[in-house]
Amino acid sequence: MSVFRPDILEGRVALITGGATGIGKEIARTLGRHGARVAIASRKLANLEAATAELAAEGIDCMHAVCDVREPEQVEAAIAALLERHGRLDIVVNNAAGNFPALIEDISYNGFRTVVAIDLLGTYNVSKAAFHAWMREHGGNVVNISAPFQHHGVALQAHVAAAKTGVDSLTRSCAVEWGRHGIRVNAVAPGAIGETEGMRRFSGATGRDADGARNPLGRLGSAGDIASCTLFLVSDAAGYITGAVIPVDAGASVDMLKIRPE
């Protein structure tokens, strides 16, 4: 049951990269349930078809496009197909990411480069293409899905931390440059989100179960927690917010000493 009115995104069109799985799919569902027509884009057609059917069965107007966000031409083609069908593009959620835990000395040169290419350059490619194809003239909302841990040293995630640091920086720069076009650009930084590929891989590599009790609120996050914050940011309720990177992590990133008072 949503705390938001079901029609707050009525008439709007949203593109969610990596929207066929995990957090991205939940964002697509949440924006769709609040009135947006959604498009999901990623590399694997089978996943896109399955997610599109799942969301359509829930009454959500969903289309998909096969697209590797590292390839500007594919990104432009996906946005052109969306505009052809819907005639507008109000919201972009840059959620696509590559992730595998690895030590700095073990990760291949290509592996490090790939994560930066998907997370950071992909976010740039999609944002820029959306700007030129629609938002420069009409305004809009961009939400980048970041992470909260890159402000510290983190083991096994150096490549992701480097890429997400860039995503945060790009968020602020786009917000500053594009405010004059009526475009708001923000980021959501998810903490440990249960039942996601990201958490499964991290738990597998560290041998540590995802454990919500380590954060101040004492629970793992859900994909719905990230989707709710995204919905808020793209709604008119957040009309004066741009350039913000909002941690949605139960306070984990501000909890230096991890002492739990009784």
Name which of 9 and 78 has its Cβ closer to ligand NAP.
78
Considering the rule CB under 6 A, would residue 192 count as an interface residue with ligand NAP?
A: yes
Considering the rule CB under 6 A, would residue 15 count as an interface residue with ligand NAP?
A: no
**β-pair partners for 41:** 17, 65
Residue 229 identity (one-letter amino acid): C
Report how far residue 192's alpha carbon sits from residue 175's, in angstroms, rounded to the nearest whole number: 26
Q: What is the DSSP string of 164-233?
A: HHHHHHHHHHHHHHHGGGTEEEEEEEE--BTTSHHHHHHHHHH-PPP-GGGSTT-S-B-HHHHHHHHHHH
Considering the rule CB under 6 A, would residue 88 count as an interface residue with ligand NAP?
A: no
Considering the rule CB under 6 A, would residue 28 count as an interface residue with ligand NAP?
A: no
Hey, is 143 helix, strand or coil?
A: strand
Name which of 155 and 181 has its Cβ closer to ligand NAP.
155
Segment contacting ligand NAP by CB under 6 A, of 17-25, 55-63, 178-186, 228-236: 17-25
Name which of 136 and 197 has its Cβ closer to ligand NAP.
197
Considering the rule CB under 6 A, would residue 118 count as an interface residue with ligand NAP?
A: yes
Name which of 90 and 249 has its Cβ closer to ligand NAP.
249
- Between the two ends of the chain, the Cα-to-Cα distance in Å is 33
List interacting residues with ligand NAP (CB under 6 A). Answer: 17-18, 20-24, 42-44, 47, 67-70, 95-99, 118, 122, 145, 147, 190, 192-193, 196-199
